[in-house]
Amino acid sequence: MIAKNPKIAFAASDADVARQAMLRLVAEYGQSPVEEADVIVALGGDGFMLSVLQSPKGRNVPVYGMNRGTVGFLMNDFDEENLHQRLREAEEAELNPLKMNAVCATGETVEALAINEVALFRAGPQAAKLRVSIDGRMRMEELVCDGALVATPAGSTAYNYSAHGPILPIRADVLALTPIAAFRPRRWRGALLPKSAVVRFDVLEPEKRPVSAVADSRDAQNVTSVEVASDISKSYRLLFDPGHGLEERLIREQFQ
């Protein structure tokens, strides 16, 4: 529950339109330190929202986004009027991120969190060859593809949908495992997995067919294996205007 006159910490992307909006909003509503704020108002696009959520300041404080970017799927419409009322009436969605554990050819391990998806991409001229295991059991001995990804419900309308993966209801306890331009098996469209599943990709012929892995914006180069699992120990709180929450947006996206 947001207070009647909440303490707001404004944050803006590097875009000039976002910076200018922040100056006007701070003049109107004031600026509180993040550690004292009741809510963070993020001004930018989806990429900026993801960076705010994954920063230490976004871990425990609800974040209300206003679109000063392009797509703005995770954002609310921009309006400088009646912000306190909008915050009080906002609906909250709680999201658990994915955790990526990638092992590189150098032996380095890269750990990162992703709210949308963890994706593997071929990093050379030849298709990647991946072995896919779920919860320690090998499910596909060889997937020849441009890549593959594991998406959360919140991220299912992003790159996952572009790769012909399914849109998932926001409260569904499932993950989407989706291939990117699968060559063999040619007709494989992916799989729906329980949220508790641990997905492991082993890169076959990594020297000949190098692969990179990306968790939202954090990447690992020349990976030999990648494990992906939901991290239920962490959660992010997003605020949306009534009737325009993630659940409604996911449904609406399927009827465009």
Is residue 253 helix, strand or coil?
helix
Which amino acid type is present at position 211?
V
Residue 99, strand partner residues: 113, 229
Establish whether 46 is a catalytic residue. yes
Residue pair 225/256 in contact by the 8 Å Cβ criterion: no
Q: Which of 38, 46, 77, 216 is flagged as catalytic?
A: 46
Task: Specify the amino acid at residue 137.
Answer: R
How many CB atoms lie under 10 A from the CB of residue 251? 12
CA 102 – CA 201 distance, rounded (Å): 9
Question: 41, exposed or middle or buried, with CB in 10 Å at 0-12, 13-18, 19+?
Answer: buried
Q: Which helix (H) or strand (E) holds 128?
A: strand 128-134
Residues belonging to the active site: 46
